Amino acid sequence: MRSPSNSHLHLKSILSLRKSFMASSFTQTDFPQDLDDLLCSDPHTQPQDECSSLTKSNDSTLLLGSPSGYLSGESRIERAWAHWSKLGRPKLIVAPMVDNSELPFRLLCRKYGAEAAYTPMLHSRIFTENEKYRNMEFTTCQEDRPLFVQFCANDPDVLLEAARRVEPYCDYVDLNLGCPQRIARRGNYGAFLMDNLPLVKAIVEKVASNLQVPVSCKIRVFPNLQDTINYARMLEDAGCSLLAVHGRTRDEKDGKKFRANWSAISAVKNALRIPVLANGNIRHMEDVHNCLQETGVEGVLSAETLLENPALFAGFRTAQWTAGCEESSRDGNLDQADLLVDYLKLCEKYPVPWRMIRSHVHKLLGDWFKIHPHIREDFNAQSKLTFEFLYNMVEQLRELQVKIPLYIKDSPASAISSIG
């Protein structure tokens, strides 16, 4: 942990590192970014037995036994399924989101039905080199399981070193092979490793044969279905124990413009012997049910929809997704302001950078701000946020009688019960 006297040095280091490889999911130019990169609370106030950072990550005694590797053949496939079964075969999963799937948000989603979650993408090289980056960007706790820790990487040895640091704290080390952003092109990682499949194979083989924890991968599809199937089979043969498939190509970046290709995901599922997850088009529980039925996968991931509605997996939906439903919906006695308060309380317990909190406020209260833009303008004008200000902002919206409820179907159990 950093000391208060080193906070400014720590801040500049983290800000410089973050800007060197990450494009934030939310860009706001009206406030100084350096203040938003401060932790929202002093980490010294955290109970040490509740929240784990990687301060002691250089201590090899943290690792749980020696690497056992992944043998070829049926034994490796059986081990992949045994591990998935041991975790309870989670079906409802929080996808990795840069700056947005941090510990408090993961715990919020778990409170409302999520059964597993990914961390935000971590940069493997910076993770291995910089302790301050590790402690700022990765925290977890006992309730935060099953957990996928996701890295971007283009060097097998570097990824292995990073993976060994998180191995005691997670259930999968995940390789990001799906990021389609320009920053990934410049850094030669994510979906742009699709242009160098021998390197991808070498990376997966290296980590899979040297870790105790299984290796998972998250990919996008090729325009050609057979190329996608060949890609997935290569990953399985290299030692991948679980594959998440985003049903869009790397050029299809806009999820609202391009529908995910569930047929391609189904084809991958049918071609592989390891567990497969689906990502794309998950907006409410009917989508979850339909995706599981159409693809045959073991579970689904949701990202953008969860940012607006972290209670998605509990059967709640925004008004946008109630129109056209065959069954009527009713007020679920829950709204996004309630969820924001839940999230802020978790942030007080498990501190994160203010930039993450600011982003979630905009995602959760976007529709509310449209009704009262002066509240949004006041929020954006705050160069330094406080919990007192944020709680008061919610109260101010309540006093203005803003009400945008989340809805549930009159018989929500029908769709949810069929998933178990």
- Per-residue pLDDT tens digits for 252-296: 866 667 899 999 999 999 999 999 999 999 999 999 999 999 999
For range 285-308, the mean pLDDT: 97
- The set of residues, in sequence order, having a beta carbon less than 8 Å from that of 337 and lying 6+ positions away, is 364, 365, 368, 394, 397, 398, 402
Q: Which CATH superfamily is domain 73-314 in?
A: Aldolase class I (3.20.20.70)
Q: What is the reported pLDDT for 21?
A: 44
- 5 vs 399, which has greater pLDDT? 399
Q: What is the reported pLDDT for 330?
A: 86
Q: Which of 122, 118, 111 is nearest to 93 (CA)?
A: 118
For range 241-245, the mean pLDDT: 98
Question: What are the residues facing 172 on neighbouring strands?
Answer: 148
* pLDDT greater than 80 at residue 350: yes
Task: Please report which confidence band the pLDDT of residue 181 belongs to, taking 50, 70 and 90 as the band edges.
Answer: confident
Q: So which residues are the catalytic ones?
A: 179
For range 101-128, the mean pLDDT: 97
Q: Which of 185-189, 231-235, 286-290 has the lowest mean pLDDT?
A: 185-189
Q: Kindly state the percentage of the chain with pLDDT values over 90.
A: 68
Which ranges constitute the DSSP H helices of 117-253?
Answer: 124-129, 131-137, 156-166, 182-187, 197-208, 225-238
Task: Please report which confidence band the pLDDT of residue 240 belongs to, taking 50, 70 and 90 as the band edges.
Answer: very high
Give the SS3 label for residue 331: strand
- Say if residues 53 and 139 touch (Cβ distance below 8 Å): yes
Q: What is the reported pLDDT for 72?
A: 55
Q: Which residue has the tokens 């499949």?
A: 197
Which ranges constitute the DSSP H helices of 279-353?
Answer: 285-295, 304-308, 336-349
Which of 37-41, 97-101, 162-166 shows the highest mean pLDDT?
162-166
Whole-number Å distance between alpha carbons of 420 and 416: 7
* pLDDT greater than 50 at residue 52: yes
Helices (H) and strands (E) in the chain, counts: 18, 13
Which of 16-20, 35-39, 324-328 shows the highest mean pLDDT?
35-39
Please give the mean pLDDT across all residues of the chain. 85
Q: Which of 64-73, 96-105, 386-395 has the lowest mean pLDDT?
A: 64-73
Q: Kindly state the percentage of the chain with pLDDT values over 70.
A: 80
Pairing of strands 122-123, 51-52: unpaired
* pLDDT greater than 50 at residue 20: no
* pLDDT greater than 50 at residue 100: yes
Q: At 198, phi and psi to the nearest 5?
A: -60, -35
